[in-house]
Amino acid sequence: MAEPENHTLALLREMRTDMDRRHSEITAEFAAIREQLDKMQANGLEAMKRFIGHRTMVERTVASFEADLSDLKQRMSALEAARS
């Protein structure tokens, strides 16, 4: 006579299979999220580097402008002093 089928074990096996499938799906989703975050971080770092480069260029331009302005002020003062 054959042993009766154990319904509990069959349900547990089914649950284990389902849990393994869900675990694999979640792991894949986390990997995709991690990849997106890595790309966002790389893009953010690149944007920050460009910003710093642009800021440096602007600072140099402003410093050059201030030097030119100071030079013009000195020349104007010299011309005004020469006229007097």
Residues 6+ apart with CB under 8 A from 45: none
CA of 68: how far to CAs of 49, 65, 80, in Å?
A: 29, 5, 18
pLDDT in tens for each of the 84 residues of the chain? 567 688 899 899 999 999 999 999 999 999 999 999 999 999 999 999 999 999 999 999 999 999 999 999 999 999 999 887
Q: Looking at residue 2, what is its pLDDT?
A: 62
Sign, Cα dihedral of 22, 24, 25, 30: positive
Q: Give the residue extent of every domain in the chain.
A: 40-84
Q: Where are the alpha helices (DSSP H) in the chain?
A: 7-83
Q: What gap in Å lies between CA 82 and CA 46, rounded to an integer?
A: 54
